[in-house]
Amino acid sequence: MSKLILETIGLTKTFGRLVAVDNVNLRVREGELRGIIGPNGAGKTTLLNLIIGALKPTSGKIFFYGRDITGLKPHVISQMGIATTFQLTNIFQGMTVMENVWISVQSRSKMRWNPFIKAGGLTDVSRKVEEICKLVGLEDKMDEIAMSLSYGDQRLLEIAIALGSDPILLLLDEPITGVSPKEAEEILKVVQKLSQAKTIVLIEHNVDAVLRIAKVVTVLNEGRVIAEGSPYEVSSNEEVQRVYLGAG
């Protein structure tokens, strides 16, 4: 069995009387493409923000490869090998695709603090940027300004930026929300391709997309895990049908 990479134990987050994440126990293994689904307000994004350190849990623990990362700063968690994309696209709008990815890749370069190295001399960084852009399908748009890209391509760029930090675990928060059906398919194909080399947690409101590509699916409702298993097991679960799919 593959190694446990991410684990949450009794993870809980409250905002006053609102319980956004309620005693969540999550176990993600190396090489897994895990889907996390649930209706609006289920606690999906709050759970992600707890994992990356953007929020501190009210109670519970978070472990990355067995190391307690609960409450660590986001930049520390990022340096450990966890990268994320967000619901709201987070890119440098006035810079080119190449420059956006370059910043991320160079942040992990051993030469990043050397003031005597010109950007053009960082051949390893340049090669890595090109590889990442090709991987996500943006190799022909590297010189385009980010704000000029379609929304779907901006989402792909954000994934490319996340990959630039060379993560072990990639967390994707609703990457196909708001994009056209064609662009959604392109993004899902990229996610599937990346899952061959990366452990991915895909948080999505689009249940059909997640059930189609994820190997294991966790379903949240009102902050609680109400089901977990294969796409077939989850889609057959009566509580999931009642709460999420709206079945009578």
**Are 26 and 97 members of one domain?**
no
159 located within any domain: yes
Q: Which domain holds residue 117?
A: 88-166
Burial class (CB in 10 A: 0-12, 13-18, 19+), 73: exposed
Is the pLDDT confidence value at 114 over 60?
no
Number of structural domains found in the chain: 2
191 located within any domain: no
The pLDDT of residue 214 is: 96
189 located within any domain: no
**Are 16 and 65 members of one domain?**
yes
The pLDDT of residue 110 is: 55
The residue among 166, 191, 211 that closes a domain is 166
What share of the chain in percent tops pLDDT 70? 92
**Are 146 and 176 members of one domain?**
no
Q: What's the pLDDT tens digit per position in 143-160?
A: 999 999 999 999 999 999
The pLDDT of residue 248 is: 43
Average pLDDT, the chain: 91
Q: Quick check: 157 and 99 in contact, CB under 8 A?
A: no
194 located within any domain: no
112, β-bridge pairs? none
**Are 109 and 136 members of one domain?**
yes
CATH assignment at residue 242: 3.40.50.300
Mean pLDDT along residues 27-47: 94
What share of the chain in percent tops pLDDT 90? 79
Q: What's the pLDDT tens digit per position in 181-200?
A: 999 999 999 999 999 999 99
**52 pLDDT tier (thresholds 50, 70, 90):** very high
**Are 60 and 14 members of one domain?**
yes
3-state SS string for 83-140 = EEECCCCCCCCCCEHHHHHHHHHHCCCCCCCCCCCCHHHCHHHHHHHHHHHHHCCCHH
The pLDDT of residue 40 is: 86
**Are 76 and 92 members of one domain?**
no
Q: What's the pLDDT tens digit per position in 208-227?
A: 999 999 999 999 999 999 99
186 located within any domain: no
The pLDDT of residue 90 is: 81
Mean pLDDT along residues 62-69: 97
The pLDDT of residue 244 is: 64
**Are 158 and 174 members of one domain?**
no
Mean pLDDT along residues 81-109: 89
The pLDDT of residue 113 is: 41
188 located within any domain: no
**Are 47 and 14 members of one domain?**
yes
**Are 69 and 129 members of one domain?**
no
pTM for this entry: 0.90
65 located within any domain: yes
Type and span of the H or E element at 47? helix 44-51
